[in-house]
Chains A and B, each alone.
Chain A
Amino acid sequence: MRGFLALEDGTVFRGDSVGAEGFTFGEAVFTTAMTGYQEVVTDPSYSEQIVCFSAPMVGNYGVSADRVESARPHARAVLMREARGPAWTDWLHEHGIVALSGIDTRSVVVHLRKAGAMRAIAVSGEASVDEALTAVREQPAMAGRALAGGVSARKPYVFSDAGSARVAVVDYGCKRSILQRLAWAGAAVTVFPHDATADELAGHDGVLLSNGPGDPEPLSAEVETVRGLLGRVPVFGICLGHQLLALATGHETFKLPFGHRGANHPVLDKRTNKVLVTSQNHGFAVAPSADPAATHVSLYDGTVEGLHFPEYAARSVQFHPEARPGPHDAWPLLSEWVREVSVAQAA
C-alpha cells in the first residue's frame, strides 16, 4: 500500500506503507541517530510528532521488550528510507503506528532543516492531498503546547525501593532509562506525576526533573513547583526538566527551528573544556547565555546545554545522560549526582 507525508507548507513525500493503516497528525521532525529506532519511537518526548529517520536502513536488528523507553510508542508516525522487517514493521503495525518506507528521507531532513519543523500528516492508503493539507493546517502548532500532562504517570509509584539515596523523579514523560540509570547508581527511585507539589517532593534526598514533550513555557504550574524546590532539596533536570529549571531561574526558552535530535551532538563543559558526545532530543532550548550558571554549551549552535546553581544544589542538562539511544559519555553525570545526594543525605 502506498502512503504519503504532507507538510503544512504543501510539500508532499510519497512512500510505501509498512505500518498501521490510516492517518495521523503531528509535528514532522527528524533524528540523525543511526541506531535505537525502537527507543526513539517509545520515548514520550516524541509525543505528537512524526519522526523521520535519517539512518539509511531501519529495523535491521528487530525489536525487543528491553528496548522500550515507556509502556507504548509515543511517536505518531515513522518515516524511513528503507524499513526492514518483519519484526520491526510488525511491531509498528501492532502498535498502530503509521509507518512509511521508501521516503526520500534526506530531502525531508533538508527541507525541515531549511523550513523548520512543521505540522504534517502521515497517510497510509489513498487520500486526497488537498484535504489532508487542509486538515493539517487546522492542527495546533507545537509552540505553546503543554503536553507533559498527557504522558505523565497518573499516580506516584515506586520504581526501585532500595538505595543509598531516595530520589523522586517528576515524570513529565520520563524515559525508562533515566529510572534504570538512577537505580543502577544506587538510588531508591519513586516516580511522581507532573503536578506533584513541592512539598510532596522536597522530603526526598534529591529530585530529578525528567524529560518530556512539548513547549516548556505554558507549564507555569510545573515551573512554580520547581521554584519551590530550589534550596530545599538537590535538583537535577534533564531535557524538559532542564528547561523548567531554566525558566524557574529566570532564563528564557525558545523554539528551535528544527530541534536537535540525534546521537552525535558535541557539548562543551565550559568548566573543564571537555567535550561530551551526547544523545539529544529537543525542539525547544534555553537561549545562549553568558550567565556563569550556564556550564554546558552546544558546539553546534551555542544554546545552553547545562546549568548549575551551586547555591540551590540544582543543576540540569539539555541532553540525555541516560543515552538510549546514543553514547554513554554522560552516564557519569547521573551516577555522580546520586553519589552526591547520598553523601549529603548521610551527612
Chain B
Amino acid sequence: MIGQACEFDYAGCQALKVLREDGFRTIVVNSNPATIMTDPGFADRTYLEPLDVEGVADVLGRERPDALLPTMGGQTALNIGLELAEAGVLDALGIELIGAPADVIRRAEDRERFRETVRSTGLKVPESLVVTALSEVPDDLSFPVILRPAFTLGGHGGGIARSRAELNDLLPKALAESPVGQVLVEESLLGWDEFELEVIRDRADNVVIVCSIENLDPMGVHTGDSVTVAPQMTLSDEAYQELRDASAAVIRAVGVECGGSNIQFARNRESGDVRVIELNPRVSRSSALASKATGYPIAKVAAKLAVGYTLDEIPNDLTGTTPASFEPTLDYVVIKAPRFAFEKFPGADTTLGTQMKSVGEAMGIGRTFGEALLKALRSRELDASAVSPWDGLDELPEGLHPWFRAEIERLRLPELSLEDLVADDWARLKRLGHSDADVARACRTSEEAVRAARRSWGVRPSYRRVDSCAGEVEAASNYLYSTWGEADESEPAGGSVVILGSGPNRIGQGIEFDYCCVHAAQSFRALGYEAVMVNCNPETVSTDYDTSDRLYFEPLRVEEVLSICERERPEGVVIQFGGQTPLKLAGAIEAAGLRILGTPFDAVDLAEDRERFAALCEQLGIDVPAWGTASSPDEAAEVAERVGYPVLVRPSYVLGGRSMRVCYDEAAVREAAARGGHLLVDRFLENAIELDVDALCDGEETYVGAVMQHVEEAGVHSGDSSCVLPAPLEEPEHDLVVELVSRLGPALGVVGLLNVQLAIADGRLYVLEANPRASRTVPFVSKATGVNLVEAACRLAAGAKLSELDMPRGQSLGQVSVKAAVLPFARFPGADPVLGPEMRSTGEVMASASDLPTAFARAERAAGRRLPTGGTAFLSVRDEDKAAATDVGRALSALGFKLLATAGTARTLAAAGLVVEYVRKVTEEGTGPSVVDLLRRGRCDLVINTPQGSGARTDGYRIREAALVARIPCVTTLSGAAAAVEAIAHARDEVALSLQERIDAQARTA
C-alpha cells in the first residue's frame, strides 16, 4: 500500500526481536504475508488477519495480552489502537495501550488538538481552520490553501487549492477520504523549506534527536515524494538548534513519553519563521530512513522504551559501548529518492502535491552530497521509458534551495574523452559521485570500456563504516558504503556469500523479494557462510544491519556489485531472491568470473528467451500458447493472424506485465505495436483457469511447494489476481501439473526456486511462463503451507540434494488460504481502476479459513474491500460477459440484493426472469439520475463492471471511478464477481487461528 510499506515490517521485526529478548510473549497481527514479522519464528503467535477493529479485537479476545503496542504499524495500527481504546475493548479486556496512550494519539492526530498543543508551547502552526462541510469555508479565505483530511494515511485525499473553484472541487473529495469527515484547510507554505526531526523521549523525560532530514523538494510536496537529505545541509547551528528545541517542546507537550516521533517543520528561508506541521507519535517512513541513515535503531529503542527502559539504560548496538542517549553524528551524507510508477497509471495526474504518489524509495550514502545524490538517483532503476520527477539533473524543482542547486550544478559532466583521462581526473570524477555509466555517457563509449580504463589507473572504491558516531568510538559495525580516494575499513575475512537484494519497491517487485533475501541471509548464516547483503532500499528488513554479517548499502548495479565482489571474494553470489534486479546483473557477474550459487545464468536465459524456451517445451512435449515475435505493426498483425485472436501483445523481457495488451482485432494489435521495439505476440487463452506453481529443484529432482489457482481469469496479471491455495483442482489435473513442473525444472537446469505459470483451457494444460527464481508468491506459500521454501532453496544452492532436505510430502492443508491484491487506484485519480494484464497492485494480504468463501471474504476485507451482505448491486458488463452475468445476478438476487443495471445488462437479466431496475449511463440521454449520480449518492453497495475497452472517457471508466471515490467495492471481472457472490453467500464467522496453530495442526496430519 502506498504510504505504508515494508518500513513497518522493519520496525515490527525490530520491536519483536527486543521484546522477545526481554522475555515477553509476543503476538503479532498483520494481514500482509510478505512480511518477515509474520514469520512463524518471529513472534509467539502470528495472526494473518484483517487489520480492522473487528479483526484485532477478535485476536485480543482470544489471546488476552497485557499490552497493545500500536506505534510500530504505521497509521493503520495507530488508528486501530485508538479505535479499540475508544470502543472500550481495551478496558474491557484489561489491556494497556503502550508506546502511545490514547490521549497522546488524539493530541497528535486530531488537527485541532495538535494545534492547540503546539500553540501552548509558544510555537506557531500554519494558520488554518477545520471544516466538516463546504459551507463552513469563510468567504475571505486567501489562496492557495492546503487541504488535509484528518486521520488519513500519507496525506491521502489531500491537495492544494489555488482558487475557490479548485476548493469546491477538492474539498468534498477530501471530506469523503477522512474517516471522521474532517478536513484541515490551511495556510499554504509553498516555497518554504521543509525539515523533519526524528525525536525519542523516555519516561524520565530524556529527549534525543536521532536525525535531521531536509527535503529538497519544497513544502507542498509530500515528504514521501520528496528527495530528502540527512543530516540537514543548509541550516546554521542556531537555526538547527531552534528546530531541535522546538522538537523537544512539541514532543513534551503532546506527551509522547516512551517512544519515537517524527516532527515536520516548515521554515521560511528569508525570515527564519518556523511552523510546526505535524507530529507522528509512532515509527514512520522517515524514522525507518533515519534508522538506516544513522545506524540508530529507532524502532528497537522505541519498543524498549515502551516497556519501561530509559535511554541511558539501552546500549547502542553499533558501537556496543555508548548508550542510546548518544545522539548519532554523521560523517557522510544520506539521500533518499522516491521511486514513482506513473507509467503504470496512464491518465493519472503526475503533479506532486500533498498526496503521496511514489511506490518505493532508494537511499544513497556518500561522503559528499553529490556522491549520495547520484547513488540514490541511480539506485531507483528507472525503466528506460519511465517519466519520473528527478529524471536527470536538468529539471530541478522550482524553489530548490540555492545551496542544493549549486551542488547539483557541480555534478554536470562536460563531454569527455576516455584517452585524455588520467589518474587525477578519475579520482576527481569518482569523488564527485559519477558512476562508470555516467562517465561512459560523457565519453560516448561503453561502461565496460570506462571501467577498464579507470581500473588501469588503479582507481578503486574504498568502503567505510556507518557507526553512528563519526569514528569517535570504536565500533564493530558491519554496515558499509563505498566512497573514493580514502582508506578502507572493515576488511572481509572470506567465506562469504553475496546476496543481491531487490532495490526500491516498485510495482511488480516489492517486499516479497525482500522477504526472500532476508531468509536467504538467515539460511546462509545457518549453513556457516558469512552472509553479505547488498541493497539500497531503506524501508526493508534486509538493510537492517542485524540481518546479515555485512551490509553494503549500495546501488544494485554492475559497477557497485562487481566492486563489492572484488573486495569480498565470495564463495558465490546469490541472485535468485531479489526479483528481476539481480537477474539483470547475472551476465556481468558470470563474465567477471564469479560463481553464481544455484540456478546459473544460462537457465535464466533459457527461461526468458522465448525462442529457446519454446524449443525446450517442444522437446519436452509441453504445450505453450501459439506465439511469435514482431518488430513492426505489420509483423505483429501477421503473427496475430497466424496464432488466432485474441492475442496478448507485449515487449519482450518484462516484469509486472508492463505495457501488456490483450487485443481482439487487428486494429488493436497495430495500435499496441505502434510504440515500437521488439514485441511478443501470444495467443491469449480466454476463459482459462490460471495456475501458479512454486517449486524447488536440485537440477534433477523437483519438489512442488504449492499449486495455486487464480480467482480472476487469464488476462488479469497474476500479481493483481486473487489466488487460492490449494488450487481447487481434480486430482488428475493436479497430478498433471506436478508432473509437468517436475519435468520442466531439471530441463531448465534450475537449482533452487522455480515459479511456473500455467493455464488450463479446453482441457489442455499450457505453460505460460517459467521463472527460475523466487516469485512474489513465495512468502504466501511459505505461510500457507508452513514450509520455508527459501531456506530449502538456499540449501540446494549451496549444493544439497532434495533427498537430503526431508521436505514434508503429501500433507493435507487443513485450511484454504487466499491472497488478495491491494490496489492503489485511489491515489491515481484519472487512471482507470480496472484489472488487466498490466500489474498495478502495490501490496497483498492473506487470509486463511476452513473453506474458500470464508477465506475469500476475509481476504477482501483485509484488502480494504469489505464485501456487502445486502443492499443494491449494480451490474454493467460487456457483451461477451452477459451470459455469465446472469448467474451472478441470479445469485445476488437470491441473497436479497436489489439489482440495478444499465440497458444491455438489464435486458439480459430481465430476459432470464430476474427483477432488475434500469439506470442510464452518463452518456445516455434521459431524465433521472445516471448510474454515476447514484454511486455518488452512495445508493449502491456493490458494483460489477467488466470493461468494454478502457479509457478515460468511456462510461465504464466513469462508473469505476465513481465507485472508487464513493468507496464502493467494484469488481471488474466476472470470475471475481462469481467468487465475491460465493463468498457473500457462504462466508462463515470463524475463530481466527494463529499461524503457529495452523502449522502445528498440519504437522499432525502429515
Contacts and interface: CB of A to CB of B under 8 A. Distances in A.
B419 interface: no
Interface string B176-200: 0000000000000000000000000
A268 interface: yes
Contacts, number: 143
Given A54-B470, A67-B238, A300 B368 contact: no
A323 B323 contact: no
Contact of B236 (A67, A105, A109, A275): A67
A265 B240 CA distance: 17
A56 B368 contact: yes
A325 interface: yes
Interface in A102-121: 102, 104-107, 109-110, 113-114
Contact of A56 (B312, B322, B331, B431): B331
B344 interface: no
Contacts of B329: 32-34, 54-55, 262-264
A326 B208 contact: no
A127 to B, nearest CB: 20
A82 interface: yes
A64 interface: yes
Contacts of A106: 331, 367, 464, 470-471, 486-487
Interface in B194-233: 204-209, 231, 233
Interface in B950-970: none
A56 B238 CA distance: 19
Contacts of A329: 207
A299 interface: yes
B311 interface: yes
A72 interface: no
B206 A54 contact: no
Contacts of B469: 32
Nearest to A61: B236
B486 A264 contact: no
Interface in B472-522: 472-474, 485-487, 489
Given A57-B333, A110-B489, A273 B367 contact: no
Question: Which of A35, A102, A109 is packed against the most chain B CB atoms within 10 Å?
Answer: A35
Given A327-B241, A328-B241, A81 B367 contact: yes
Contact of B235 (A61, A66, A84): A61
Given A54-B329, A56-B367, A275-B312, A35 B471 contact: no
Interface string A1-41: 00000000000000000000000000000101111100100
A240 to B, nearest CB: 21
A134 interface: no
Given A109-B471, A275-B312, A34 B206 contact: no
A54 B312 CA distance: 25
A91 to B, nearest CB: 14
Given A32-B470, A109-B472, A275 B325 contact: yes
Contact of B485 (A55, A104, A326): A104
B652 to A, nearest CB: 44
Interface in B251-283: none
A326 B244 CA distance: 10
Nearest to A272: B204
B638 to A, nearest CB: 59
A66 B204 CA distance: 35
B523 to A, nearest CB: 34
B237 interface: yes
A325 B474 contact: no
A150 B548 CA distance: 54
A109 B311 CA distance: 26
A55 B332 CA distance: 7
Tell which of B208, B231, B235, B237 has the most Cβ of chain A within 10 Å. B237
A82 B205 contact: no
Contacts of A61: 234-236, 239, 403
Contacts of B327: 263-264, 266, 277, 327
A41 to B, nearest CB: 12
B420 interface: no
B233 A57 contact: yes
B832 to A, nearest CB: 46
Contacts of B238: 66-67, 324
A60 interface: yes
A253 B245 CA distance: 33
B231 A34 contact: yes
B309 interface: no
A323 B209 CA distance: 16
B323 A55 contact: no
Query: Chain A's interface: helix, strand, loop or mixed, by majority?
Result: loop
Interface in B794-852: none
Contact of B245 (A57, A64, A82, A328): A328
B328 interface: yes
Contacts of A35: 235-237, 240-241
A323 B18 CA distance: 35
Nearest to B248: A329
A66 to B, nearest CB: 8
Contacts of B377: none
B325 A81 contact: no
A263 to B, nearest CB: 7
Contacts of B333: 56-57
A323 B474 CA distance: 26
B855 interface: no
A39 B474 CA distance: 27
B305 to A, nearest CB: 13
Interface in A273-314: 273-275, 277, 299-300
Contact of A64 (B235, B236, B470): B236
A54 B471 contact: yes
B250 to A, nearest CB: 15
Interface in B676-726: none
Contacts of B237: 33, 35-36, 39, 67, 324-326
A36 B231 CA distance: 14
A326 B209 CA distance: 12
A265 to B, nearest CB: 7
Interface string B642-655: 00000000000000
Contact of B241 (A104, A105, A323): A323
A263 B322 CA distance: 15
Nearest to A103: B486
B326 interface: yes
B368 to A, nearest CB: 5
B575 interface: no
A262 B368 contact: no
A325 B464 CA distance: 27
Nearest to B333: A56
B312 A268 contact: yes
A300 B471 contact: no
B525 to A, nearest CB: 28
A274 B486 CA distance: 40
Contacts of A300: 322, 326, 473
A265 B326 contact: yes
Interface in B310-353: 310-312, 322-323, 325-333
Given A61-B234, A64-B236, A264-B327, A113 B474 contact: yes
A15 to B, nearest CB: 11
Given A35-B237, A277-B325, 8 more contacts: A32-B331, A32-B472, A34-B330, A56-B331, A67-B238, A82-B368, A110-B489, A326-B241
Interface of B: 204-209, 231, 233-241, 244-245, 310-312, 322-323, 325-333, 367-369, 403, 431, 464, 469-474, 485-487, 489
24 contacts: A32-B469, A32-B470, A33-B237, A34-B231, A34-B330, A54-B471, A56-B333, A60-B234, A61-B403, A81-B368, A104-B486, A106-B470, A109-B472, A262-B472, A264-B327, A264-B328, A268-B312, A273-B310, A299-B322, A299-B323, A324-B237, A325-B241, A326-B237, A327-B241
Please provide the 9 A-B residue pairs with the shortest distance between their CB atoms, ordered closest to farther.
A36-B237, A54-B470, A264-B327, A266-B325, A325-B237, A35-B237, A109-B471, A275-B206, A104-B486
